Chain A
């Protein structure tokens, strides 16, 4: 069985984890075009090489980031999301007209 090193809990069987998608910046939903939004929601980069991904340790509901090489399936390193997200990501609320439509 593959082992993932959870930043909170240490080495655990991969069966205790769930994949959560690529780490990508979310476009501002208020100003993004339909094409940009569809790209964000439905399309993946499918990079060959080291990618940055969200993973969840299910037993503790702990989300963290793993760098994984898609060419050889090796987990290169894992770290808490606070290492790259230093501030809360917020978007302005849609204006009154859009919000009530």
Chain B
């Protein structure tokens, strides 16, 4: 770990919460076309350990991309994406990408946790609104923030700001809840990191700072903290 950091404002591509991350003392490294919070001046191992209770991370710069339209599912299958019939379920691809089926005609692709897969970029390139196929690209990369809430206390924390029961007993791995959190609409996808419960939270970028503040406020009583991308890789065993 080095104390050298970048200024995220020097990059054209920025997370919608880069100011909050900077003010919280994040150390940034260049990644995914911008500056991503690598850590908060602690080792990845130490941050990962503290995430067992409750932690929040920002993954907004990682690839995420959506498709809508009558032929979305058939077209994605023809492109080699494994998408099942059931809605509100995320289908894990071989390369770790999650294909989140939000509706019979809508799928949101979210990158593997380290963003190694080129699936999102490849499909974004091959889809076009000019095509005959009714599967329209919905570029969520800049329109949707992407937060990760993880730890044993996450369901208890969510219970304060969300009406859906997210405990393991009723909300399993790879299930999706599209609901209201702190009065704003979000998509929640559960995809655990090793033994640690993990909830991906995606929503409209215009309200990113609002929800970030709400989450930090709700996390306070559980001693929740911010962690960087290094700790997430550590938890995922990568």
Contacts and interface: CB of A to CB of B under 8 A. Distances in A.
Contacts of A70: none
Interface in A1-54: 1, 8-10, 12-13, 15-16
Contact of B103 (A10, A13, A15, A62): A62
Contacts of A57: 178
A100 interface: no
B138 interface: no
Main secondary structure of the interface of A (DSSP, over half): mixed
Interface string B76-89: 00000000000110
A86 to B, nearest CB: 15
Contact of A13 (B88, B163, B185): B163
Contacts of B163: 1, 12-13, 15-16
Interface in B151-179: 163-164, 177-179
A60 interface: yes
B186 interface: yes
B180 A59 contact: yes
Nearest to A7: B87
A82 to B, nearest CB: 9
Interface string B112-141: 000000000000000000000000000000
B160 to A, nearest CB: 14
A16 B177 contact: no
B178 A60 contact: yes
B102 interface: yes
A58 interface: yes
Contacts of B178: 9, 57, 59-60
B179 to A, nearest CB: 5
A60 B103 contact: yes
A1, A9, A12 interface centre (most CB from chain B within 10 Å)? A9
Interface in B96-116: 102-103
Given A9-B178, A12-B179, A16-B179, A59 B103 contact: no
Contacts of A1: 163
A15 B179 CA distance: 10
A89 B178 CA distance: 29
Given A9-B179, A13-B180, A59 B185 contact: yes
Nearest to A82: B104
Nearest to B163: A13
Contact of B177 (A9, A13, A58, A62): A9
Given A8-B87, A59-B186, A16 B180 contact: yes
A9 B180 CA distance: 12
Interface of B: 87-88, 102-103, 163-164, 177-180, 185-186
Interface of A: 1, 8-10, 12-13, 15-16, 57-60, 62
7 contacts: A1-B163, A13-B163, A13-B180, A15-B180, A57-B178, A59-B186, A60-B103
Given A16-B163, A59-B178, 5 more contacts: A9-B179, A15-B180, A16-B180, A60-B178, A62-B103
